[in-house]
Structures are given as structure tokens and as C-alpha cells.
Amino acid sequence: MRDHPWRGVRSTAAALAACALTAAVVAAGATPAHAAADTERPTAPGPITVVAIDTTWVELTWAAATDNVGVVSYPVGAQFEDNGAHYSTDTNSIRISNLRPSRTYTFSVAAVDAAGNRSLNDPRLRLTMPPGDDQPPGAPGQPVAYDVAATAVWLRWTHSVENVVLDRYEVFRVDAGGALTRVSEVYQYPPRNSTQVSGLTPNTTYTFVVQARDEVGHLSPLSAPVTVTTLPPPPKCAVRSVVRQWSDGFVAHLTVKNTGTTAVDGWTMTWRFWASQQVHGIWGAKVVDRPNNSYLRVGNTGRKAVIPPGGSVSLGLVASGTQLPQEVTLNGGVCEVADE
């Protein structure tokens, strides 16, 4: 049989690769046979100690591990909360840079031999970096209230200016006499500048301010205040629907009745509505928005904005999709399904 013209080249390349691998294993302190047969783990390295440290770097060392053949590397981990970084060294010391001042890290070290066996019960060191921040954050922007309900309100604000690392925002309710009561903490991992304040009393006026705190503990000035009045308690209501449906769409007629004892002056309604669905037509109301892409919110058009006790409004919808109007709410109150 005639030899393939590349057969000799491939054989030579394979031989060279094998020689290189053998040399690497021998240089690491083990022969290929020993590495292949080695199933014994190295001992754990000794306790981690700090050789030198600054605000953004640290040099660590530890007692070397032992192994029946030879340790070839020390994987090193640096963990801050849910974020971690991994390093490796072939000696029993390492310098880790690009750390953050004042953060508390957990460092860990393991030992690995040429066969890939890894040590157990490896040492850890919890270390807080020196502070490198001597400036407080700037004041957050004035909060803006949105999605106001009877017992909850959402607040958002522009971010503080911080020279190193911002830790969190603290939201306070301003009580009578100017006393502050903390109602929310917004940690910055990941960064956020909004929060919901719940547990409020319906039809009540509240004032809120926001303060920033950096990782050292410096506090910003308070933001400008925002004052908001929660909505009255959600009305009681009942809904009756008549639906004609086809394979990928429907027309729905809804009649919503105020079953409470207080008139509803201005209203919005929500119901289930998938993100893939489209509104082709609506009457008796106007589309407001689509909260969470799972609901459709509509509101009064100016006419019939007031629903007296025992009164009702009617509206209709033509839409695509198969999710029919369900879980209907009136100004946040869940409507009962009326008997046909």
C-alpha cells in the first residue's frame, strides 16, 4: 500500500508533542509513569499570612504543601460576596492586585500535583483591605414617586457621585418633627437607584429622603425630599365578561361594577395579557401601559370616569393571542367574577 504523503509529517509532529509533554512533566518533578499512577492528594498548604498590603493589593504567603511525587501549582481564590476571581502560582506566595479599598475578601489556597490531585481542607483567610476613601458621596438626586398605590409607592432617584465605591442607599421616611425612620436599603451589587416602600396607610401623605453610604461608611448629605399621598383603599368590584374567541384572537366585552360604598373618581384596570399579544382595537377605555409585559393596563377616557356605588362601566377589546382577560383589577382592587 502506498504511504500517504502527510503520514510521516503527522508521525513526527505527534512524537514532538509527546516529547514536549514528557519534558514538562519531568520538569514538574514527576515522570510520566509516576504522574499517571499517582492518586495521592497533596497535603493542604499551611495557613495564609499577609506579607505586605496596601489599599488595592495584597501579598500572601503560606507554608508549602507536600506530595508523594510533587506539587506543581497553587490555585488561589479571592471572594467578595458573590463575586470571585481565581489565580495560580507555582510558588508558595502571590501578589494580588486590582482589589478595592475597605472591601472584605476571603482568600483561599489549594495545592495540585502533576496528576491533577487536589488537596483537601485548604486554608482560608478573611481580610478587610485598608481604607482608601476619605471623601463622602455626593447627595442623591431628589426622589421621584411613581406607581403610587394605596399601601405602597415606588421611588427612584439619580445616583450619587462617589470617588471610590458606593455601598448602598438608605431611604428614610420623614416623620413629624423631622425624625427619620429607615424604610429601605438598596445595596449596589448590582447598582440600583429605585425601591418600593410598602406597608403604608391608604389616603395618607408621606415624605421621603435618600442618603448614600460608601464602603468605608461615609454618609452623603440627604437628598431633597419628595412628598406623596397614597391612594384611597382599593374599591370593591365585580366583573362580567362576554368573549368570542377564534384560533389566534378574540373580542371581549367587560362590564365592571363598583360594589363598594364609595364612588370611584378616575380609574385604571389591569388584566392578564401576554407579551406576544397585540391590541387591535379598544373602546370605552384607553391603553395606559403593559406592566411587566404580563398585564395590560387601561384607563378611563374622560367620559364615565366616575363610577358611583352600584354603578358600572363597559369596555371592549379586540386582541390577538389566546390569553383572555383574567385577574381584572380596578384601581388595584381585585374584582370578583360576577355570576352570569
- Dump pLDDT digits (tens) for 202-216: 999 999 999 999 888
The answer on pLDDT for 1 being more than 80 is: no
What is the percentage of the chain residues whose pLDDT exceeds 70? 89
The answer on pLDDT for 36 being more than 90 is: no
pLDDT score recorded for residue 24: 39
- Dump pLDDT digits (tens) for 226-279: 999 998 888 999 999 999 999 999 999 999 999 999 999 999 999 999 999 999
How many angstroms separate the CA atoms of 268 and 288, rounded? 8
- Dump pLDDT digits (tens) for 129-158: 988 777 899 999 999 999 998 899 999 999
Q: Which of 1, 22, 23, 17 is nearest to 9 (CA)?
A: 17
How many angstroms separate the CA atoms of 279 and 319, rounded? 4
Class of domain 49-128: mainly beta
The answer on pLDDT for 23 being more than 60 is: no
Question: Are 261 and 235 spatial neighbours (Cβ–Cβ below 8 Å)?
Answer: no
Task: Please report where in the chains the cell 492528594 appears, as a residue.
Answer: 41
- Dump pLDDT digits (tens) for 156-170: 999 999 877 888 999
Classify residue 292 as left (phi > 0), alpha (psi -120 to 50) or beta: left
Cα-Cα end-to-end distance for the chain = 89
The answer on pLDDT for 311 being more than 60 is: yes
Q: Label residue 105 exposed, middle or buried (CB < 10 Å: 0-12, 13-18, 19+).
A: buried
pLDDT score recorded for residue 302: 82
CB atoms within 10 A of CB 112: 19
CATH, domain 237-337, list 3.60.110.10, 3.40.50.261, 2.60.40.290, 2.30.30.40:
2.60.40.290
What is the fold, at CATH topology level, of the domain defined by 144-229?
Immunoglobulin-like (2.60.40)
How many angstroms separate the CA atoms of 50 and 186, rounded? 33
Average pLDDT, the chain: 88
How many angstroms separate the CA atoms of 27 and 21, rounded? 10
Q: What is the mean pLDDT of residues 125-130?
A: 93
How many angstroms separate the CA atoms of 293 and 321, rounded? 14
Helix (H) or strand (E) holding 10: helix 7-27
